[in-house]
Structure formats: structure tokens, C-alpha cells
Chains A and B, each alone.
Chain A
Amino acid sequence: MNATDIQIAICGSAGDGTIAAGDILRNAVAAAGYRVICFDVYPPEIRGFGKCISRLRITTEQSYSLKRQSDVLISLDDSHAIPHAGEVRDNGAVIFESQPISPCAEGEHMSAHVLPGQIPYGFPIREMAQKATGGARSRNLVVLGFIAGLLGLAPTSFQKIIEKKFAKQGANVTAKNYAGFKAGYDAGAATFKLDDATFGPLAKSGDSGKVVMLSGNAAVVQGCMDAELNTFFGYPITPATTIMERLASEMPKRGRRLLQTEDEISAIAATIGAGFAGSRSATATSGPGLALMAEMLGLATITETPCVIFVSQRGGPSTGMPTKTEQSDLNAALYGSPGDSQRIVIAPTNVEGCYRCAGKAFEMAERYQTPVIVLLDLYLSNRYETVTLTASGPPFVLDANKPLRRMEPGEAYQRYALTADGVSPRAVPGDVGCMHVITGLEHNELGRPNDSAEMHTAMSNKRHDKLQAALEHPDFTVTKRFGAQGRVKVGILAWGSTFGECLEAMFMAQAEGISCAAMKVVMLSPFPTKAISAFMDDCDAVLVPEVNYEGQFAQLVQGTLARPVVRLSRVPSSPMPVELILGEIRRLAGVAAASAAS
């Protein structure tokens, strides 16, 4: 059986329906049973003629990232798409308008940029749209139909998705759009085949779970809802806003409360207040908002108050690049706060991970009485993947609080009682006989201000030590090794969304015969020293690719373990290119081989 692995890129100008076409395509193939990963790039302006690209990779088994090269490029606007002609592989297809609306110079037409080895499919898209629908607006559906026909995808699943998408605009609009699709489909089916890119049969799915199409942020919302988030406080900021927007419609349906606050300080303050009152509470922000929350995070640390903060990173510093992805808020997430800022920081590596990390974050916040930061980035927040939700219900513990015993008459409740695991049973307002005050001041076991050296040391120990158990948190992947077991020439150590590209590069390197392995690090604080050390023991060289300039994760690894790593820190305003990682793997494999020979 041929496993399906096709990547399609649709490129156009804002207003061409590029992103909409990608949306229909991903939903249609997912409905047909394929696995999808999809990432759209669009300009920051709401109106204008900026470049939009929607890239989808369609596979039999869920893939971790987009491929280095696309199999098909569709141009809805040659001026934007021409620079991307090179990203199509040999024997891949380039689909473009064969009859431009006005005469254009040769260099401005896609036909002049199709490389030898690529297969050009020029056809009269506009004319076909006009004939089928009486207007040119459905060009995006004509090309969608064209590739469906070309690649042999059944039109039925598209028809359903198109009907759903245009349902609000009436039967006429739906019919016209489907007519456009059908015209394209017939043309695609009638033309010569793109031989080595066809959809293979699907394996009979063994898991009985429900497959859904989710963006990273939507997966976070699903995780929050399944973990029974009670209260949410937020302030709009790209690329985290859609978390609050989705929660704003989901939470009230379940009788829960969401408040848009006046700023991020207020958002985190209210989140902590609600956590103190015993509610499962969260906020979501991006780098600039995290900076405003820094002081409050310290308050959550010292008062040992459970709270969850989703941080979707974008390009920085300052306002930086709000619509470009980056992994440069790691240091702020780990350390941003006055004093020693003990906390849990976890970073999912794919959309399914967003779901799991979101739900597990509430468990950890309660169990270890700590702020938990879930570090996402724009690439992860905005990309779509098919996700399997377990059939047996949400895999989350809904009350992870340490049990509180009844107070004896006259007994003073000790909010910060020193215990073996560092976690003190927590009373919340409403609990009879446990009245206490929590404070941002250093305190004793009763919670009363105390700044003695002994107490500050004891409480610092407590706040540090209690988190170590999170490294073995039940049903949570702290780190995971992929690829070759045992000794390898090159080991890739990565975190967050970049791990997907690392895995792709690793597979390609393995195909070239290079011995390599990759480890994803999901928990960044507390630092999984043992697992990472053991992995590094197996590697001749360790490569750390990440999308930031200073190599923040590489610094963390080197600083904690005092062992060298090879940095691949780049700020491409996009996900890390797979070929960059592959090039480094090749170079390191060569270097390692040379030094072994000498």
C-alpha cells in the first residue's frame, strides 16, 4: 500500500480566497479520512494586497511538520507566487492562470518561472470561473476542483464542506461556488495525470477515537474545556486572541465565566485571585503581555497559588512582529519575575500536544500549587492538524488538590506547612476554621510575614523541591526520543513547534544513511536533567535548532548541564526551514566521521 504524503501550497493576494481555499481543502481531505497539517501565512494588515499562502500536507499517518518541498503549487496571483516556484519538488506540479486578464511581460508570468523538471499546468482559471458562475470570484474554487480532479479526490466530501462554508450566504452562492469547483474538477480529471502524487487508500483506522480538525489555539480551548476550566480572564493580543474568542463562546454554554479585563496585569491578577478562591483559572497572552504579567507571576509563586498562563510567542523584542512566529520568550517564561521564580513551563510540539498540555497544566497547577506556563508560538497556535480525541473521555484529572484534613478545635491552620513533598494541603475561602492570609512577603508556615534566613531558606527549598515531582507527572510526556536508539552521530534536541521540522530533517538524514536521533523536550521547567543528559551521552554531537537569535534553549541546556551543544539559532520570521537543519546534520555527521577517522 502506498502511504499518502502530498503537500499543496496555495498562494495568492489578500482577497483572492487563498486561505478560504486552504480551509475547504483541509476539511475535505480530513473528512475523507486523511491526516492533515496546515499552516497559513498572511499579512498583518486587515485590508490590502499582501501575500497569502496556505500550505497543507496530507498524509496517511499524522505528520509532525510541513515538508521542505511542496508537491503542488497553485498560483492565484503570479506576482506573489513566482518567488515560491522553487519550493516545488522535481516532477511536482505548478498550477497557474494561462490567460492573464491583461498582457504582461514574460517575466511576470508564472510560465516563465516553472523550473525544468517541474510540470506546468496552465489553464484558463478566470474564464472557467466566469463561465461556470458568471463571475471571477470563485477562481479559488475552480483551482480547488482542478487539483481534486488531478489528484483523484472524490468531489463528495468537498461538496459537503462547500455547502457548510457558504450556508449563511444562501443556496445561490453555494450553488455557484460548487459549480466553480465542479468545472475545475472536470478540467483536472480530464488533463494528463500528475503521476507520482496520488492519494493512496487509507489504512483501516484501529483507534476508535474521534478525529477532529483543530488549530493549536482551538486545541488549547478544547483542553481547557475538557479539564473543566471555571474562570478565564484575558486581554486581546495576537496570536493568543483566538483562545479567548473561542472560550468566550464555549464557556458560557457550560455555565462558566470569562472576563475581558482592562490589561494583562489585571488578567493575571484576576486569574490568581480566582485560583486562590479555588477555581480552575487561566489567562492567555503573548510576549508583551507576559512581560506585564511578570510581577504577578512571582506573587503566584510565593503564595503557591494554582494558575495557568498560555503564552503564544511572536517575533520580538517589544511589539516586534505580531504576525510572525518565533521562540524568543523562553527566557521570559522561565525567569520573568522578581526573585527566584520557581514555576512549571511546558511547551507542546504539535496541535495534539496543545490539547494535552492545556488539560495537564490545570492538573499540575493544582497538584504542585504553582503557576504553569504553557508556551506556544504563532506557528503552533495558527496551524491546523487532525487530532484524535480519546474515545474514553478526556485524559485529565479533574481534582488534583491534596486532601485537606479537618482542623481540630483551637488548631491554627498552616497554609505553608512544611511537608515531605513540599506541597501543603490548601484551604480556600469558604473552608470553615482555616482562615489565613496569603502574602507576597516571605512568610512562615502560618503565612505570617517572616524574613529570617532560616525561614527564607526553608520556603525557597519548599518552592523548588515540590516541583521536581512534575518531572514524573502521571500520563505526561516530559521528554521523548525519536529515531535511532543507542549511539548516534547526531542528536537533535528541540522544543516547541520547531521539533516538527527537526523530526522531518531527521527522517531525511536517516534516509541518507546518517545515524541520528531526536529528542523533544516538553517540560522546560523544572529541567529534565536526567533524560537530557542520558540522551546527550548517546550522541557524538548535539544540535539545538530553535527560532530565536540568542539560542535561549541552547543556553539553558549548556548552563544547566555544563555540556557543549551546537546551536542552530535563526530568526527567519517563519518556521525553521527543514533544509537548514538537514544541512547542519550533514555537516555534523561529516565532522563526527572525520574526527573519528583521525
Chain B
Amino acid sequence: MSIPIQPVYVDVKLREVQESGRLDYRSRSLPTWCPGCGYFSIVEGLTHACNEMGIPKEQAVVVSGIGCSSRFPFFVNLYGFHTLHGRVLPVATGIKTANDRLTVIGVGGDGDGFAIGGGHISHAAKRNVDITYLLFDNGIYGLTKGQTSPTSAVGLRTTTTPFENPERPLNPLMMLLSYGASWVGQAYAGNPDHLREMITQALAHRGFSYLHILSPCVTFDKTSKTYTNLGLSVRDLPENHDSSDLMAAMHQAQDQEHPALGLFYQQFRPTLGDTFEQVIAKAGGNN
């Protein structure tokens, strides 16, 4: 992939960013991530999306688990809850149940979501909780300094797999599609413009939206999911992909060698909040 080089002038760019208003959504805390980490572009993407959608800062809550990715709430100027390892979705479900008006965004890593927290995803998806779940997948445990994760490639050498990872990685997109998530998409941290667009779409979806974000870990994985390797392997979804076709989405999700970027699947159905209101109506509790 070759990117044409265009000149950018600092003063112009600075004014453009300042005037956009999206810096309002940034906090004063400096990110704790390593230089070059893919997660910087996710902060950019979310602040941009919130700004574009005009979400009031006090009406959004970012819920995270534990891991490098889960430090995320500290770097945005929204309400935030840095919870426990693996518990993003149940906490987010509680917040949304208590207050439907809030925009609730869950963030977490591949270990947080698919190892320790794996049991919760299917239920959040099936209930169609109206939240957005951004999963940062770098295929490694970064905060604990480089152990194998549920999405690590076969053969990856890490501190806990010194003789190479023997296990097949999970296929998160297949899981989410079969769990009944009502919005499933994939983006790549090395393609920030597309990422930003996908975050905006995910936030706009009414229901459980799952965005899988591929990202390198520049410190602990120098061989597998690097910018170079990811950049060469990702592809766009076919132009004629029908996002209402679950089987087509699953077909695309099968290809883990060449991950497709874009909206795999979208469905509209009642959210958890809707079903609560239905129950209340049946019980005659609206009077």
C-alpha cells in the first residue's frame, strides 16, 4: 500500500483542529501508551465521532476493563468507569439500564473481552443492549508485558509461550455474528480515517454495536501483527457486500488471513431498553 505524500502546514492544521471543537472531548491527561501505539488513533476516532454527532460530554460514559486499552477513559473528557478485568459489558449494561439517555461506550482489549470476559459478550449481544463496544485487538497482553492472548497467532513466541503459541486464535467476528450482535464491523488503527468513520457509524446504531479494531503492539510483538504485516494483509469488504446478509457476513469473517474492513452486518430489532418498556407496559406500570 503506498500513500501519496501531501504537504501539511502546522498552523493551518492546528487552527483546523482547534476550530473543529473535538479537542473539547480530549482530557488533559497524557496517554500512558508507548509511542507508536495504535490506540492513539482510536482516541482520535472517538473524539472526532462524538464531536461530529454533537454528543454532549456529560451524556456519554466510557466503560473499560483492565489492560493497555482500558486506560482509555482517562484520555477523553467524558464520564468514565475503569472497572475490573473482563467486566466492561455487565457494568455498561447496568449504566444503560439505569439511564437510557446516556451514550455508553465500552472499550477493552482482546484478553479483557475474549479471555476473562468472554462469558458476557454473548449475553450483551443477545439482549441487544444499546451500547457500542470497541474492542482493541493487538493479539497480546501488553500491560503485563507480553503474554499470549486469545487472538495471538499460532507460532507467536511470548513470555508464556517461549516454545511458540500452539493454540489457534479465536475468530471474534464469527462469534459476534453468531451471538446475534446487531451491528458488527471491523477497522484498523493504521487507517484512522476509516476507523473514525466506523466509530461514528457504530455510535449511531441503535442496539449493540461491535467494532473490532486491529492494532499492532509496537513493544511486545515485533513479528506478527506489526504495522507492516497488518497493513499488507487488511482489505476492504467487497463493494457489493450486503450488510443485511448474515451468511455473507460470516463468509467474509472466515478469512482471518486477510481481514476485511467495513460494516459486516447490521440488523434493527428492539433493544434491551425497549424490552424493559414492553415488560413494564404488560405489567401496567406506565400509569
Task: Spell out A's residues near B (CB within 8 Å).
Answer: 230-231, 233, 249, 251-257, 259, 261-263, 265-267, 269-279, 281, 295-296, 299, 303, 429-441, 448-449
Given contacts A273-B93, A296-B87, contact A437 B101 (CB under 8 A): no
Q: How far is the CA of A265 from the CA of B60 in the complex (A)?
A: 24
- 26 chain-A/chain-B pairs, Cβ below 8 angstroms: A252-B282, A259-B93, A259-B97, A259-B272, A261-B123, A265-B90, A266-B119, A266-B123, A269-B83, A269-B91, A270-B93, A270-B94, A272-B91, A272-B94, A273-B81, A273-B91, A273-B94, A277-B98, A279-B99, A299-B84, A429-B79, A430-B99, A435-B80, A439-B82, A440-B66, A440-B83
Interface residues of B in 250-287 (CB under 8 A from A): 272, 276, 279-280, 282-286
Given contacts A278-B98, A439-B82, contact A253 B87 (CB under 8 A): no
Give the size of the chain B interface in residues (CB under 8 angstroms): 46
Q: How far is the CA of A265 from the CA of B102 in the complex (A)?
A: 23
B29 within 8 A of A: yes
Q: How far is the CA of A438 from the CA of B95 in the complex (A)?
A: 13
Chain B residue at smallest Cβ distance from A305: B81
Q: How far is the CA of A493 from the CA of B95 in the complex (A)?
A: 41
Write out the residue numbers on chain A whose beta carbons fall within 8 Å of the beta carbon of B272.
Answer: 259
Residue with the greatest number of chain A CB neighbours at <10 A, chosen from B58, B77, B284 = B58
Q: Distance (Å) between the CB of A598 and the closest chain B CB?
A: 59
Contact, CB under 8 Å: A262 / B120: yes
Contact, CB under 8 Å: B91 / A433: no
Q: Distance (Å) between the CB of A249 and the closest chain B CB?
A: 7
Task: Spell out B's residues near A (CB within 8 Å).
Answer: 29, 56-63, 66, 73-74, 77-84, 87, 89-95, 97-99, 101-102, 119-120, 122-123, 272, 276, 279-280, 282-286
Q: How far is the CA of A269 from the CA of B101 in the complex (A)?
A: 20
Sorted nearest first, the 5 A-B pairs with minimum C-beta distance are A273-B94, A270-B94, A437-B80, A252-B283, A279-B98
Write out the residue numbers on chain A whose beta carbons fall within 8 Å of the beta carbon of B93.
Answer: 259, 261, 266, 270, 273
Residue with the greatest number of chain A CB neighbours at <10 A, chosen from B91, B101, B120 = B91
Contact, CB under 8 Å: A253 / B285: yes
Given contacts A429-B99, A435-B58, A438-B80, contact A233 B87 (CB under 8 A): no
Write out the residue numbers on chain A whose beta carbons fall within 8 Å of the beta carbon of B78.
Answer: 435
Given contacts A257-B97, A274-B95, contact A438 B81 (CB under 8 A): yes
Q: How far is the CA of A230 from the CA of B222 in the complex (A)?
A: 50
User: Chain A: interface secondary structure?
Assistant: mixed
Q: Distance (Å) between the CB of B104 and the closest chain A CB?
A: 9
Residue of A277, A281, A437 touching B82 (CB-CB under 8 A): A437
Contact, CB under 8 Å: A262 / B119: yes
Q: Distance (Å) between the CB of B114 and the closest chain A CB?
A: 15
Contact, CB under 8 Å: B98 / A295: no
Contact, CB under 8 Å: A437 / B79: yes
Contact, CB under 8 Å: A274 / B97: yes
Chain A residue at smallest Cβ distance from B65: A440
Write out the residue numbers on chain A whose beta carbons fall within 8 Å of the beta carbon of B84.
Answer: 269, 295-296, 299, 440
Contact, CB under 8 Å: B90 / A430: no
Contact, CB under 8 Å: B98 / A231: yes
Q: How far is the CA of A271 from the CA of B90 in the complex (A)?
A: 9
Write out the residue numbers on chain B whose beta carbons fall within 8 Å of the beta carbon of A275.
Answer: 94, 98
Given contacts A254-B285, A273-B90, contact A441 B83 (CB under 8 A): no
Q: How far is the CA of A110 from the CA of B33 in the complex (A)?
A: 79
Contact, CB under 8 Å: A273 / B58: no
